[in-house]
Structure 1
Amino acid sequence: MNYSIGDFSAITGISIYTLRYYEKESLIIPARKENGRRSYAESDIAWIQFIKRLKDTGMPIREIQKYAKLRAQGVTTMADRMEMLARHRAVLKEEIGKLEEHLSNLDDKITYYRTEIRKCTNLREDRRTAEVSCCT
């Protein structure tokens, strides 16, 4: 089945503007009908979703362009494409590690505040007073 740019946009959730930009950047090359209108195939859906995933994971457009160019060259470039993805995966793993460390630090701080708030609440109840200096 073939789709117009509007239908393809609705199916993929990618704006018409972005689809045109991706075409301009040679990330996706839709077929053209006799009247010059773009015609997207079923296979373009998976490809555009993969492009979106690469973009969402921080791969620069220039790298995605290189990948798309290699893909267009066929099976002889599979090793190169795999290497590109392996490098990108390594970058993501490193970023995930940093984010996990940040998350752990935030968890520690949240635990600290919960403990301090609990202490202040207990102290207030013990003194039956509205103001306690430990909560400043």
Structure 2
Amino acid sequence: MKQNAPIYRLHLDGKLTEVRASLWVVRDGGEELVRALGGDVEHERAIGILTSLGLKADDAGTAFVAHDAAALRFWIEGIPSTPEAWELTIPESLAPTPGEEVSPRLLALLADGDYAAVMTLTRERLSRRSAPGSN
């Protein structure tokens, strides 16, 4: 019997200078948390994607985190770089407002001056990446 390809769900929480992500895999009717250590080859690839986007495993190995400039980079560059097949849940404060057509622009400069960026994300792009009912 052929096994269905796994579906990855990335649940994101935080604010501009803080990201906390948990990665879940749905396979054969079950859902399990992807831990930072161990797992199969597909899990290792998914973890590699998260780390390449600037996230690091937390101390318990159950979530992936970024702070300060790394968090800001993730919100700006990381989300659009996640695989299209992944389902994302984005915090309501950072997700698009349904029906709004204006593309948001954000100028952010951390207090220490470490990272300045201008971000333009279309609401359509984030809408496709935000799971229905995301918080």
TM-score where L is the length of structure 2: 0.24
Higher relative contact order, structure no. (Cα contacts within 8 Å, ≥ 6 residues apart): 2
Q: Whose Rg is larger?
A: 1
Higher strand proportion: 2
| TM-score normalised by structure 1 residue count | 0.24
